[in-house]
Chains A and B, each alone.
Chain A
Amino acid sequence: MNRSIIDLWVGIFVTLGLLALLFLSLRVGNINGSQLYQPYELKADFDNIGGLKVRAPVRSAGVVVGRVESIALDKSTFQAVVTMKIDGRYVFPRDTFATINTSGLLGEQYVGFDPGGDPQDLKAGDVIKKTQSAVVLEKLISQFMFSKAEEGSSK
């Protein structure tokens, strides 16, 4: 077999393969989007996290600013401690409100940040005090049913 033909085809094959890997990481996998720039850690205590999962996004005004790093239960307060990694380019005021939201009716759950007006910013390792738990659909429905039932009996 001619040596230069082998070289040519191996060259084409390896180049194509590397291009495919590049395509998969940039166009399909969006390598920039999932990497956080010099991330720092924030914690928040929630009464109920609903279906929040590790690696769920943290959004502020709809923009992804971080990811949920870990979820644990505090042994003394029985609250859920959510640890988040936040992109180093963004800082938030100390009275930022953390809520657990759902994108769409059946979509994934994420942590939403509503910034307040405090002049001081949250630093790495700080704990967000003001939080709102996830809305649990079953509780909402049962509240609605009970209030309906009470209306019926008072008439």
Chain B
Amino acid sequence: MFELVGAGFRAIGSRVVNGIWRIGFCARFFGTLLILSGTSFRRPRLTIREIYFSGALSLIIILVSGLFVGMVLGLQGYDTLQRFGAADALGPFVALSLLRELGPVVAGLLFASRAGSAITAEIGLMKATEQLSAMEMMAVNPIARVVAPRFWGGVISMPLLAALFSAMGILGGYIVGVIAIGGDSGTFWSQMQASVDFHHDVINGVIKSFVFGVAVSLISVFEGFDAQPTAAGVSRATTRTVVISSLAVLALDFVLTSLMLRG
């Protein structure tokens, strides 16, 4: 009985110690990455290649989901707003919900599952097949050569993807609200322009998507670099990337929103 309780406490203790150790390791990894990221800008070809893989190849999924999210917002918003005789407010409703929340958050979630998981799997497999060790043998630092370009590629791609998502969503809302339902085009745009503030809505959305880009990219490269060099280890690391990145995006979104709405 006494032994069982002791074992339970030991299990909790080792989990906590492990978690803290991983957080510290991740922070040191992030510091090293920043110090060694000179290469990614001195040799921009490395970073451009990663922008292609995590940004350009995510275009289709971002554009299509943005369009559909916008069209659903248009339908649902119209259905609710016209009960209060406020169908004119459809433009601001669609634009504000996309710019402030849905654009950065949904684009961040899609980015984590489309690009983040690929980055983790790639780096994890490189580690499992000892390509990273081989680089070190040739006096090439794998963090500078492999990890940093992927990190910066993700950080650059994410705000652009979120902006594309919001723009497509607003077009989707326009398609449903004006072309399909037959609302007034002028009202849609002018109401939107009257209530969307450049600083408070557009810029804050870009800041959010930048923060999400840093968080998702860091988690992806870290999980790949820290993966157990086996097939099972790489698959576990990929799963963990998607789960932790999604949770991080949602939690950070709450923190940033509460800071921005108060300010």
| Interface membership of B7, Cβ < 8 A | no
CB distance from B51 to the nearest CB of A (A): 5
Whether the Cβ atoms of B59 and A7 lie closer than 8 Å is no
Chain B residues whose CB sits within 8 angstroms of the CB of A21 once the complex forms: 160, 163, 206
CB distance from A24 to the nearest CB of B (A): 5
| Interface membership of A90, Cβ < 8 A | no
Interchain CB contact (< 8 A) of B202 among A14, A16, A24: A24
For the side of the interface on A, what is the size category? 20 to 34
Whether the Cβ atoms of A20 and B166 lie closer than 8 Å is yes
Chain B residues whose CB sits within 8 angstroms of the CB of A13 once the complex forms: 51-52, 55-56, 59, 157, 160
Whether the Cβ atoms of A28 and B170 lie closer than 8 Å is yes
Interface residue ranges, A against B (CB under 8 Å): 1, 3, 6-7, 9-10, 12-14, 16-18, 20-21, 23-25, 27-31, 33-35, 55
Determine the distance from Cα of A16 to Cα of B62 in the docked complex, in whole angstroms: 12
One of B140-148, B188-196, B215-223, B238-246 contacting the partner? B188-196
Whether the Cβ atoms of B52 and A9 lie closer than 8 Å is yes
Chain B residues whose CB sits within 8 angstroms of the CB of A24 once the complex forms: 99, 163, 166-167, 170, 202, 205
Chain B residues whose CB sits within 8 angstroms of the CB of A9 once the complex forms: 52, 56-57
Whether the Cβ atoms of B163 and A17 lie closer than 8 Å is yes
CB distance from A47 to the nearest CB of B (A): 28
| Interface membership of B71, Cβ < 8 A | no
| Interface membership of B227, Cβ < 8 A | no
Whether the Cβ atoms of B49 and A28 lie closer than 8 Å is no
Determine the distance from Cα of A1 to Cα of B59 in the docked complex, in whole angstroms: 18
Interchain CB contact (< 8 A) of A20 among B51, B163, B198: B163
Told that A1-B52, A20-B164, A28-B95 touch, could you supply 16 new A-B pairs with CB distance under 8 A?
A6-B48, A9-B56, A10-B48, A13-B52, A13-B160, A14-B51, A14-B160, A16-B59, A17-B55, A17-B160, A17-B164, A21-B160, A24-B163, A29-B193, A29-B197, A55-B197
CB distance from A42 to the nearest CB of B (A): 21
Chain A residues whose CB sits within 8 angstroms of the CB of B119 once the complex forms: none
CB distance from A28 to the nearest CB of B (A): 5
Whether the Cβ atoms of B196 and A28 lie closer than 8 Å is yes
CB distance from A12 to the nearest CB of B (A): 7
Chain A residues whose CB sits within 8 angstroms of the CB of B193 once the complex forms: 27-30, 33
Whether the Cβ atoms of A29 and B59 lie closer than 8 Å is no
A7 to chain B: closest residue by CB: B48
CB distance from B185 to the nearest CB of A (A): 12
